[in-house]
Amino acid sequence: MLSLWAASLAIHDDEPPFSTATTMYNTIDAIPLGDVAWESFSLQYNGVQPAHGNVPSWMEAEYDVWFRDPRTLVHNLLSNPDFVSGFDYAPFQEHAGGTHRFQDFMSGNWAWKQAVCSHYHLFTSVLMFIVLGFDC
């Protein structure tokens, strides 16, 4: 996977941030965990089960879902001084030499379409809630 990333960056004379998977994993492991606690809940399927024959095991199993509070995570991300000048809050398109340059999520076609097409207002509303809905 890193070789694909490196190849995509080579087109623009950019260097990949990690030379090996081990380097990447070590960098990830060095990230401070922050103050957002893990939370969990359990769930299980409660729909119609087959009347005859074997019931699939997933229909009877109980599953634990682990998560961190998304609001607090996004708040911490937006208030992180490391992102002061490098965080894209709105979709954008960048073109160089007639070619659309894809850099991150907000430079992609999907994000752009969500913001500029009239039938994609839900995405824009969600982004505005995330960006403006915090008491910073």
Residue 95 has pLDDT above 70, yes or no: yes
- The length of the chain in residues reads 136
How many helices (H) and strands (E) would you count in the chain?
6, 4
Q: Is residue 90 a contact partner of residue 66, using CB atoms and an 8 Å limit?
A: no
Q: Report the run of H or E that residue 117 belongs to, with start and end.
A: none
Higher pLDDT, 76 or 40: 40
Radius of gyration of the chain from Cα atoms? 21
pLDDT at 136: 40
Q: Is residue 36 a contact partner of residue 69, using CB atoms and an 8 Å limit?
A: yes
Give the highest mean pLDDT range of 50-59, 91-100, 108-117: 50-59
Separation of alpha carbons 63 and 17, rounded Å: 36
Confidence grade of residue 42 (pLDDT, cut at 50, 70, 90): very high
Instruction: Please state the φ and ψ torsions of residue 63, each to the nearest 5 degrees.
Output: -120, 140
Q: Which two tokens stand for residue 130?
A: 């995330």
Higher pLDDT, 4 or 48: 48
The pTM of this model reads: 0.46
pLDDT at 77: 79
